[in-house]
Amino acid sequence: MGFREFFDALLGRSRLPKAKPERLFAMTTARLTLESSLGLKPSGVAGLCFKGVESSAYASTREELKEFLAYSAKETETEFRFEMDEYGFLWVLFQDPDFEDLVANLHLVCETLIERGFGKQLLCAVYRFEAGNWEKKPGIRAFMGQKAVYWIFNFKQGTYYPFVPLLGYKRDNSFEFRLRAGMERELPLEMDVKRWYPLWEIPF
């Protein structure tokens, strides 16, 4: 299952719950435990994925977002860019060594979309961590020489879940369960593993 199935699963519900962007801040403190207890270090990159719509109001909101982020970047020095994936989903990608600035900019985009009436378009926020002091396993997907471990926030559920991709479109389920066990008291986790959608097409 990928992005298309992920979003189709959400749209298939009769009534979607409201997005809960305030829970993005939970990762600010949780990352301390991820680093100290589980050996995962923030990679300095994160992304927000949402579904675009064809309307003048949406186009105006997108330009407003660019202005807000450009202004914010002057203060935080966070780098950002917009990127459309092959399925037509729009990503806002951020890069900043300051993890709190990453979270703050993600939240800024979410709040802006919600305030402009596009909260239902929000799909997920993704934080990428890099494997550190834990037993390395063969085949884990690597980026720039690092091992990628993702934490995905599903806006419609208001919950997080881990995603550790392996080569050949496989995933390290045992390590994902280990991450869940280690973070149950730190994050609002998705307990239904059927909703741990594997997002293979994450662009970072």
Residue 129 resides in a domain: yes
Residues of the chain with pLDDT under 50: 10-16, 133-145
Residues 144-170 have pLDDT tens digits of 445 899 999 999 899 999 999 998 899
Backbone angles phi, psi at 56, to 5 degrees: -65, -35
Residue 31, pLDDT score = 95
Residues 86-110 have pLDDT tens digits of 888 889 999 999 999 999 999 988 9
Residue 200 resides in a domain: no
Residue 5, pLDDT score = 57
In the block, residue with structure tokens 């020489």: 145
Residue 26, pLDDT score = 95
Q: What is the CATH number of the domain that holds 124?
A: 3.30.70
Residue 42 belongs to domain spanning: 3-195
Residue 146, pLDDT score = 53
Residue 203 resides in a domain: no
Q: Bridge-partner residues for 73, per DSSP?
A: none
Residue 97 resides in a domain: yes
Residue 147, pLDDT score = 81
Q: Are 85 and 203 contacting, i.e. CB atoms less than 8 angstroms apart?
A: yes
Residue 11, pLDDT score = 45
